Amino acid sequence: ARKITRTAPFSSYLVDDREPPDNVLSDAEWESYIRANAFPMYHPCGTCAMGDGEMAVVDSQLRVKGLDNVWVVDASVFPKITAGNINATVVMVAEKGADHIKQRLNMTNQEKEVL
């Protein structure tokens, strides 16, 4: 990336080259730099396992196991962090959760007992 940005025509647009410093060249130096400077971008997820297993907190409809009328509709149900920004995926989970909640609220008491 440095070689590309430092050649024409890109170099005329480059204001400064802040990170990483020029002395980061070898694979070992890159690894050390990445380990020292990488961070998760504050997108915690995966704290409420979803599924049927013993460690699962929520079921496939995002209901908290053992509680009535409590759902988890955020990134905590992700099995692992997404490759890109998690915003769109969180919105999708929340929309699906909202559908489950609306469906549950519209059920009769007899239908709820079956669950």
Instruction: Just list the catalytic residues.
Output: 43
The residues that bridge with 71 in the sheet, in sequence order, are 63
What burial class does residue 77 get, using C-beta atoms within 10 Å of its C-beta: 0-12 exposed, 13-18 middle, 19+ buried? buried
How many whole angstroms separate alpha carbon 5 and alpha carbon 11?
5
Are 107 and 100 a contacting pair, CB within 8 Å?
no
Are 58 and 71 a contacting pair, CB within 8 Å?
yes
